Structure 1
Amino acid sequence: MYLGAAIYAAEDPFATALLVEDGQIVWMGTDTAARTLLGEHIQSVDVRGALIAPAFVDSHVHLTEMGRALEGLELGHVTGAGQLLAAVALAAAALPQGAPLLGHGWDESTWDDPTLPTPQELERAAQGRDVYLARRDVHTGLVSTALLARAGIVPDAAGEGPDAAAGSGAGAGGLREADHAAVRDLILTADVPSRMRWQRIALRSLAASGHAAVAEMAAPHVSGLKDLTALVSLLDEEEASLPAVYPYWGELVETEEEAAELLRRFGRRLCGLGGDLSVDGSFGSHTAALRQPYADAEGTGELHLSAEQVAAHVVACTRAGTQAAFHAIGDAAVDTVLAGFELAAERVGERELRRAHHRLEHVEGIDAQGIERMLALGLTASVQPRFDELWGGEDGLYATRLGPERALALNPFGSLSAAGVPLALGSDAPVTPVRPWSAVKACMDHHVPSQRLPARAAFLAHSRAGYRAVGEPNPLAGTLRWGAPATFAIWEPSELVVATPEGAAASFSSDARARTPMLPDLESGAPRCLRTVRDGVVLFDAGVL
C-alpha cells in the first residue's frame, strides 16, 4: 500500500493511496480508507507527499548506442576543435594499450569556429590508437587516419581526411553516410556480453529517470542483427527486472513472406519492421531530403527510398500483421513516405491500412497538407520535442540550415495534436539525453507559440500514448486505476500545477475546482525520480522511501 501521495489519476482525482497486488493496482482511495485495510499481510510505504504518476515511455531509443555513449567519452560540452582534441588526449591516456577510443555528442553547429579536427590530429591526440567520435545526430562521425584506411576509405588529395570529409558537400564535417556505416561496422564490432552490458546500462539509466517502457529502433545500419539478437537474449534472461522493450527492426522488405520470416526469426517479439528505416538523413549532416536546397550548402540532401519501395514495404507489413515505420525528417522525405502509404492504401484498402496503426519517426518537415494525409492514413507521429529545444528558433541549427522561415515550420506538435494525429514522445537517445520532464517542458516551450502543448497533453504523449504507438494490447497500460498494471514512477514532492502555456490549446479546465490531475511545476526544474515500478516490480529505487 502506497500512502500519502498525490496520484495522477483522472478517474479518481481525490485518491492519495493505492494498493498493489500481483502486479496490478487492486484498490485506490484516500489515506483514511486505506488505513482501515492495512494488516500484517500488507506492507505500507508512506511517500510523504510525493507524486505517483504513470511511468514514462520513450518511443524512440537506441539502447546499445545509448549504453556505449554513457560508458564512453561524452563530447556534448566541447566548444571547438581544440577542446575536442584535448578531451580525446585525456581520455586516451586512461585507456588500456591498443584499446580504441569511442566518443559521442559533438555538434559543430554550436561552436564559434565550426572547423573540425583532421583524422591526423585525432590520431596524434589519441597517441596512435583508433578513434571514432559520433556526431550528436549519429549520422556522421570523426575518425582517425588508420581507422579510415582499415575501413577502405581513401584520404583526399591533400591527405587531410576522407574524400567525403565535408559530408555530402554539406560543410558539416565527418563522413558521408555510406562511409560512416563502413566505419561503424568495423569499430563497433563487439561480443554478445559487451552488447548486453551496454543495453543493460541504458535500460537501468532509463528506469532511473522514470521510464517503464521503451521502443528500441534497431536497424542493419544502426546496430546490426547481432545487436538485436543480443537484446533478445538479454530480455529472455532479465526482462522482469528491466523496463519493457518493444523492438523494431528497420529492414526493408518487398513481400509478405519476407516480412513474416523476419517476424518468425525473432519469435514474434518485434513490434514492427521499420523505425529507423531511413527515407532520408538529418539536418545536422545536411542529409535530410528537402524540396528546396539548403540555405548554407548546395544540394537538397539524400533520399534513400522511393514511394514505390515505401508502398511495397507497407503492403508487406500490413498483410503480415505488423507495423511499418519510417524515419522521415525533411519535407521531401515526408512527401515521399506519405505518397508511398497512399499507394499502399490503394492496394490493401484504407481500412486495413488504418487498422495496422503504422507510424512515422521524427516527421519534422511536415506541413498542413501532410498532417491531413497522416490523419487520413491513421499514422502515429513519433517525435522528439528536444530537437526543437536544442536546434529550433530563429538563430538555431535549423535556421542556419534552412533559413528562419522554413526552420520555424518544423516540428509542428500543436498542429499535429489539434488535427487528431496521435503523438508519442521519445528522446532518440543518445542523440538527446533521456530527460523526460525536459521533453514535456520542450513541448510547452516550443519556439513557435502556436505549436506549444499543455503539460498534460505532452505528459500523455510521453506515457499512455507510447503504449498505443507500439500496439500494446492492454488498454489500461499507461493509466492509474483499478485493474491497471502497477506501472508507475514516484517523484519527489514539489509544487503541482495544471500548466497550459500561452498560445497552447487545451481541452480541459485548469481551474482547481475541476480536479484536473496536476503535474510538477517545471518552471522550478524537474523533480527527482524516487522509484520506478513496472508490473509491481521495483526497477529503480533511490533509497529515499
Structure 2
Amino acid sequence: MQTTIFTNGNIYTMNLNKPFVQCLVTSNERIIDMGSSEAMLLQWGRNGTTIIDLEGKTVFPGLIDSHLHISSVGINAQELDLTGVKSKDELLTLIKKKSVTLQPGEWILGRGWDENVFLDKQIPTIQELDYAAPFFPLFLPRICGHAFLVNTKALFLSGYHPEMAIPYGGTVVIDPTSKKPTGLLLETASTIVTKHIPKKSYMQLKNALKIAMEESVRLGFTSIHTNDPNYLGGAIQTYKLFDELVNNEGIGPRSNLLIDYDYLEELKTAGMSTGFGNNKVMIGAIKIFADGALGGRTALLSKPYSDAPTNSGNAMYSQKELLDIIRDIRAQNFPVAVHTIGDQALRNVLDILDQFEPSKYRDRLIHVSILNENLIDRLVSPNRIADVQPKFVSSDYPWIIERLGEERSNCSYPFKTLLKAGVLCAGGSDAPIEPLNPLLGMHAAVTRKKVGETHNGYNPQEKLSMFEAVQLFTIGGAYATNEENVKGTLEIGKLCDMSVLSKDLFEMKSADELLSTEVEMTIIGGEIKYRK
C-alpha cells in the first residue's frame, strides 16, 4: 500500500477534539495518522513514502456541494448563457445573434435570464421573441428553472392549442386581451415543449458532464450531491455516465445521485436503491417538487404574495397525490429529497412525513426558504436535514421584500436561527441557478449581501460565522448523505479528502477576501486531482 504524507500545512480538521494539525498521513484513500510535521515524518517518512509539501497553505476537509445539477452546468456552457443580462433588449439581441449561427431544424436553447435584474423589469412578449427568432424554435428557462420563454415556432412544434391538457401544477400564461399565449410557461407546462427538443447524443452528454465535473474539482469540491436524470436520459444512463467518468476515468468529485421520482420504477427494475454503488458514485434520495420558485411567484405560500394579492403560488401535487408519492417512495425504502421553497409547501410535506417511520437515510428538505418558528421546530430531527443555498440571499434581496412584504422577508433564509435551533443543515449552490463556486456561497452566508454592497446585510441577525459557513460545505454535506463517519472532517479512519486554499479563511479581516481566495489543490482519497 502506497503511503503519502501531506506535510507543512495549515490544516483545519473541523473536528473539535483535534481542530488543527500540520501533517496528515494517508494510505488506501484513508487518513492513518495526523499530527506535527516533525512527528509524522519521523514515524512514517521511510523510503518509498511519497511526501507532499503543502508549503504552509490552508487546508480544510474536502468541500461538498449538497445540491446542484452538475450536468446542467456543463450543458449550459455549450448554449446561450443569459446570466447577467441586464435588459429585455440585451436578451433579444443575444437571441438574434444566436439565430444566425444555426442550421435548419436546430433550437435556440439557453438559460439564466432574470427580469428582476433587468433595468426595465420587462419580460419579452411572444411577438418580440418571434421577431428575434422567426425561423427557429426557442426554449429559454429562467435562472430559477421554474419559468420558461418560448416563441410561436416552439409552441407550434409542441402541438399547443387552447384546449390542450397542461400537466398539473403548470401554466401557459395567457394575455388577458388577446387570449393568446404570452410566450411564458410556468412549472410543468414546460414539458409540452421539452419533449420535442432534439435529444443530445450519449457522447455530447458525457462531454458536457466531463467539463462540469472537471470545473467542480478545480473549485475545490471533493463531493457533490447532484440531480441530473432529467438532463442525462434517465436514472440508469445517469448512473452509467457518472460511473464511467468517476470510477473508470478518474474524472470529477465523489458523486451522490439524486434521482427524480419519475425514474423510481427504473431504479427498482435495475435493483438499485439508496446506497447502491461505492464511495465514489452512489445512488441517493428520490427527488420531488412540492412547489415552484419565488421569482415566478410559484413558490407555495400560506398567504398570498404581497405584490400579487390573488396569488399564493403553485402546489406541484394535491395533498393526496403527494401522500401517495411519498408512500410509494417509502415502500421501496428510499429517503425523499423535496424541493420546498414556500412555507405552505414545507408544511404540506412535513404533515405527510410525520405519518411515516424514518428511512434508513435522512430525508432532505431542499431550500426551505420561507420559514416560521413552528416549521423550524419541526425540522429539528436527527432524521431530517435542511439543504440550504446561501447564495440565494445575495441574489434574491432586495426584490424578495416586494414579493413577500417586510415581515415574511425577515423570516427568509434564516440560517443562524436554523443552526441555533439544532436543525441539521447542509450547504449547496443549486448550480447552474447560482454560481458553482463555494466561496461565493460562504461569502453570502457571512455577509448576507451582494458583492460590493456597503450596508450591514439583509437580516444581519442571520449572518453565519466563517466557521459555521465552512461547516455547511463540509460536515453538513456529509450529514445529508449519512456519511458523517467517513467524510466532512479530517480524522483518522476517514477519507483523505481535502481542499487546499490560498488564504486562511479563519484569519481574514474581511469576508471580501474570500473573493480573491483561490483553490491551490483538490485532494480526493489522498490523490491530488487538481493543482493550480
Whether TM exceeds 0.5 here: the answer is yes
Amino acid in structure 1 at the alignment position of 2:236: T
- Between the aligned partners of 1:427 and 1:316, the Cα distance in structure 2 is 29
Deviation string 1:52-95 (CA, Å, 9 cap, x unpaired) is 21111111111222211122221112111111112223333444
- Between the aligned partners of 1:166 and 1:19, the Cα distance in structure 2 is 65
* 2:345 corresponds to: 333
1:403 to 390, 402, 405: 405
Would you say 1:291 and 2:302 are equivalent positions?
yes
1:15 to 21, 41, 44: 21
Q: Is the 8 A contact 1:89 1:127 kept in 2?
A: no
* 1:274 corresponds to: 286
Would you say 1:476 and 2:486 are equivalent positions?
yes
CA shift at 1:135, angstroms?
0.5
SS at 1:475 equivalent? coil
Would you say 1:245 and 2:255 are equivalent positions?
yes
CA shift at 1:279, angstroms?
0.9
SS at 1:539 equivalent? strand
Question: Pairwise mapping of residues 93-132 of structure 1 onto structure 2 (< 5 A)?
Answer: 93-95=100-102, 98-126=105-133, 128-132=135-139
* 2:378 corresponds to: 373
Q: Is the 8 A contact 1:311 1:343 kept in 2?
A: no
Q: Is the 8 A contact 1:360 1:380 kept in 2?
A: yes
Stretches of structure 2 that go unaligned for 5 or more consecutive residues are: 164-170, 449-457
* 1:349 corresponds to: none
Q: Is the 8 A contact 1:199 1:231 kept in 2?
A: no
Question: Pairwise mapping of residues 405-484 of structure 1 onto structure 2 (< 5 A)?
Answer: 405-446=407-448, 447-472=458-483, 475-484=485-494
Amino acid in structure 2 at the alignment position of 1:178: T
- Between the aligned partners of 1:461 and 1:532, the Cα distance in structure 2 is 18
Would you say 1:323 and 2:325 are equivalent positions?
no
- Between the aligned partners of 2:394 and 2:147, the Cα distance in structure 1 is 21
Would you say 1:361 and 2:366 are equivalent positions?
yes
Deviation string 1:439-467 (CA, Å, 9 cap, x unpaired) is 12212123212222211122112112212
Q: Is the 8 A contact 2:267 2:273 kept in 1?
A: no
Question: Pairwise mapping of residues 123-272 of structure 1 onto structure 2 (< 5 A)?
Answer: 123-126=130-133, 128-154=135-161, 164=173, 174-187=184-197, 189-218=199-228, 222-223=230-231, 226-240=233-247, 241=250, 242-251=252-261, 261=268, 264=271, 268-269=276-277, 271-272=283-284
CA shift at 1:51, angstroms?
1.2
Question: Pairwise mapping of residues 36-47 of structure 1 onto structure 2 (< 5 A)?
Answer: 36=42, 37-47=44-54
Q: Is the 8 A contact 1:323 1:358 kept in 2?
A: yes
- Between the aligned partners of 2:19 and 2:238, the Cα distance in structure 1 is 39
296 and 172 in structure 1: CA distance in 2 versus 1, 3 angstrom threshold? farther
* 1:72 corresponds to: 79
Q: Is the 8 A contact 2:285 2:337 kept in 1?
A: yes
CA shift at 1:155, angstroms?
8.3
- Between the aligned partners of 2:297 and 2:195, the Cα distance in structure 1 is 22
- Between the aligned partners of 1:336 and 1:262, the Cα distance in structure 2 is 30
Aligned residues: 496
CA shift at 1:309, angstroms?
3.7
- Between the aligned partners of 1:444 and 1:188, the Cα distance in structure 2 is 43
310 and 15 in structure 1: CA distance in 2 versus 1, 3 angstrom threshold? same
Q: Is the 8 A contact 2:335 2:362 kept in 1?
A: yes
* 1:391 corresponds to: 396
Deviation string 1:193-247 (CA, Å, 9 cap, x unpaired) is 222222222211111111111112246xx437x2433321122222232211111
Q: Is the 8 A contact 1:260 1:320 kept in 2?
A: no
Q: Is the 8 A contact 1:318 1:356 kept in 2?
A: no
Q: Is the 8 A contact 2:152 2:183 kept in 1?
A: no
87 and 237 in structure 1: CA distance in 2 versus 1, 3 angstrom threshold? same
SS at 1:164 equivalent? strand
SS at 2:304 equivalent? coil
CA shift at 1:13, angstroms?
4.2
CA shift at 1:25, angstroms?
1.9
7 and 265 in structure 1: CA distance in 2 versus 1, 3 angstrom threshold? closer
- Between the aligned partners of 2:150 and 2:260, the Cα distance in structure 1 is 26
CA shift at 1:495, angstroms?
4.3
Stretches of structure 1 that go unaligned for 5 or more consecutive residues are: 157-161, 345-351, 500-519
CA shift at 1:431, angstroms?
0.6
306 and 97 in structure 1: CA distance in 2 versus 1, 3 angstrom threshold? closer
- Between the aligned partners of 2:244 and 2:253, the Cα distance in structure 1 is 13
SS at 1:136 equivalent? coil
SS at 1:343 equivalent? coil
* 1:497 corresponds to: 506
